[in-house]
Amino acid sequence: MHPTEGGSAASVPGPVAADESAPATTEIVTVGIVAVLAGGVLRFATRSGLWLDESLSVNIASLPVGDIGSWLRHDGHPPLFYLLLHGWMELFGSGDVAVRALSGVFGLLTLPLAYLAGRRRGGALLGWITLTVVALSPFAVRYSDEARMYSMVMFLAFAGYLLADDILRRGKSDWLRLLGVVVVATALLYTHYWALWLLAAAGLVAIWRAWRPAEPGDRRPALLFIGALVVAGVLFVPWLPSMLYQSAHTGTPWAKPMRPTVAFGFLVDDFGSGLYDDAVFFGLITVVLLGLGLFGRARDERHIEIDVRTAPQMRAEAIVGALTFGIGIVIAFGLRGAFATRYGAVVFPFLALLVAAGVTRFAGRWLRFGVLVVLCAYLGVGALWNVADTRTQMKQIGQAIDAKAQPGDLVIYCPDQLGPAGSRATHADVREVAYPTFDDPKLVDWVDYKDRNQASDPQEFARRALDAAGPDGNVFLVWNTEYKTFDGKCEALLNALGAARPAETIVQQKSSMFEHGYLTWFPAPS
């Protein structure tokens, strides 16, 4: 499929067929270079403490290699990112900057792939604009700044897109590219389960292409591509028992199912502006650009035509992206599972390409430049907000514990989800336990989570905690009442401890932070 498929330059009135293949002008290249420099810095710039998911990832990755897979049965993710992070920490340490830098590196490696993807679909112009969008996207910046697998997912999704484009569009189905598809698809499956829906969508498109080839030579590459996906699926079989166990016993107890329309709205907001107060307005601009990228075509410098059949340039990308999201969110909703916008990392390349294509629909040179500047402005604000945002209050709470605690004091985290970040931020010589398990708070066991939490007894836990602290030990309770499946358990624990000892809340929760909580001190009887 040629970038100008669907109409030649001669068939378009005015000076441009230009939304698809115009050359990159000096000002566009300049904006792209500035965006890459700024985005590169921002990918390593956050100074927030590690929140729950990051701390939990680091703690799992810190286990012996042989234990990582078995513990992940209690968590809910496949193992590849954790194994890579384990090796990374062996080389660079486990400090906040070090553990996040792995995601930052994947974020940087994604940038040249974004340029190549755009260039394939619309020449140097679309290449530079796609690069600019990815460099400054708050979504890409956020997950390049977190010790989680989502930056790696975006990198692999872009790599897979380029390989699929080589094979299906350009007919380059040599063994090296097919091997690349096997490697990338397998890596995606072992990194995040939403890769299942991406590969399913890509497979459906390839099946259609094999069944109804546009050209006689299209069938063989499509069949070979399908075969490569099948091989990747076979290579994933050893992990299937763990995935099925996770599906039956872990799930997403931390949130309710989300309707597809609501999920897509949050995803667009998060992609385009981050979740600060003005995100909805800028999310609308992102939707307009998505729509223009899918349906629009520049007729001349003052007019954009709308084709309700969609513009051929981005039709396949939109189909794969929509199928991936649609399959994933419908299955999640049907199985009563939650959706988090970070799962959208698998469709990020398609969103980025469509938004970038929307900018190219403005054919006038300086109008296009102005639209890109506006886009960069709100993307940049969102990226800066994500970097500056303090994601967890646990650092403040840890400092307060360090200031008051004596060796041997007891720290309780209720719920246990506060434990990974809280224990990472606390350096005093104390004993730490999580409610309701009374276990080490560094890990959260998600197996049958709701049933276990609702069956727990706060009064019995309080008696055990007071016995463990002894008559001379202080007790610190880090708590929050907003976590699902606990239903008043942490308040009951607070009251049970308060009935035995005087209480003083020494840190108030800051609800503006994503992860927040109170710190209440129960001093030893004098």
- How confident is the model over 118-167, as pLDDT tens digits? 999 999 999 999 999 999 999 999 999 999 999 999 999 999 999 999 99
Helix (H, G, I), strand (E, B) or coil at 309: coil
pLDDT of 386 reads 85
Helix (H, G, I), strand (E, B) or coil at 198: helix
Contact status, residue 470 vs residue 439, Cβ threshold 8 Å:
no
Confidence at 411, pLDDT banded by 50, 70, 90:
very high
Domain count, the chain: 2
What distance in Å separates the CA atoms of residue 300 and residue 364, rounded to the nearest whole number? Answer: 8
Domain identity same for 417 and 310: no
CA distances from 290 to 45, 284, 295, 315, 356 (A): 29, 10, 9, 12, 8
Question: Of 371, 388, 405, which one is at a domain's C-terminal end?
Answer: 388
Q: Quick check: bond before 79 cis, omega within 30? A: no
Residue 341, pLDDT above cutoff 80: yes
Q: Is residue 3 part of a domain?
A: no
Domain identity same for 421 and 379: no
* Token pair of 337 as six digits: 């599972």
pLDDT in tens, 359-388: 999 999 999 999 999 999 989 988 998 888
What distance in Å separates the CA atoms of residue 350 and residue 487, rounded to the nearest whole number? Answer: 40
Q: What CATH number does the domain containing 409 carry?
A: 3.40.50
What distance in Å separates the CA atoms of residue 205 and residue 198, rounded to the nearest whole number? Answer: 11
Domain identity same for 446 and 333: no
Domain identity same for 367 and 421: no
Q: Is residue 6 part of a domain?
A: no
pLDDT of 9 reads 33
Domain interval for residue 518: 394-522
Domain identity same for 408 and 356: no
Closest alpha carbon to 327 in 195, 476, 504, 152 = 195
Domain identity same for 464 and 316: no
Q: Which residues pair with 476 in a beta bridge?
A: 411, 521
Closest alpha carbon to 525 in 468, 456, 475 = 475
Contact status, residue 89 vs residue 61, Cβ threshold 8 Å:
yes
Question: Of 341, 356, 388, which one is at a domain's C-terminal end?
Answer: 388
Q: Is residue 292 part of a domain?
A: yes
Ranges of beta strands (E only) in 443-517 are 475-479, 504-507
Residue 352, pLDDT above cutoff 70: yes
Residue 14, pLDDT above cutoff 60: no
Identify the helix (H) or strand (E) that includes residue 378: helix 365-388
What distance in Å separates the CA atoms of residue 25 and residue 340, rounded to the nearest whole number? Answer: 38
Confidence at 258, pLDDT banded by 50, 70, 90:
confident
What distance in Å separates the CA atoms of residue 378 and residue 273, rounded to the nearest whole number? Answer: 6
Structure letter (DSSP) for residue 399 = H
Question: Of 330, 364, 388, which one is at a domain's C-terminal end?
Answer: 388
pLDDT in tens, 81-103: 999 999 999 999 999 999 999 99
Helix (H, G, I), strand (E, B) or coil at 505: strand
Confidence at 335, pLDDT banded by 50, 70, 90:
confident
What distance in Å separates the CA atoms of residue 77 and residue 66, rounded to the nearest whole number? Answer: 16
Q: Which residues pair with 507 in a beta bridge?
A: 519
Confidence at 13, pLDDT banded by 50, 70, 90:
very low
Contact status, residue 517 vs residue 478, Cβ threshold 8 Å:
yes
Closest alpha carbon to 391 in 104, 143, 67 = 143
Domain identity same for 326 and 468: no
Helix (H, G, I), strand (E, B) or coil at 142: helix
User: Checking DSSP bridges between strand 431-434 and strand 410-414, what pairing results, if any?
Assistant: parallel
Domain identity same for 411 and 517: yes
What distance in Å separates the CA atoms of residue 51 and residue 59, rounded to the nearest whole number? Answer: 12
Contact status, residue 194 vs residue 343, Cβ threshold 8 Å:
yes
Helix (H, G, I), strand (E, B) or coil at 408: coil
Which residues 6+ apart lie within 8 Å of 445 measured at CB?
A: 74, 437, 439
In this prediction, residues 182-209 reach a mean pLDDT of: 97
Domain identity same for 306 and 409: no
Q: Quick check: bond before 312 cis, omega within 30? A: no
Domain identity same for 380 and 403: no
Contact status, residue 374 vs residue 289, Cβ threshold 8 Å:
no
What distance in Å separates the CA atoms of residue 346 and residue 156, rounded to the nearest whole number? Answer: 9
CA distances from 526 to 206, 463, 522 (A): 74, 19, 12
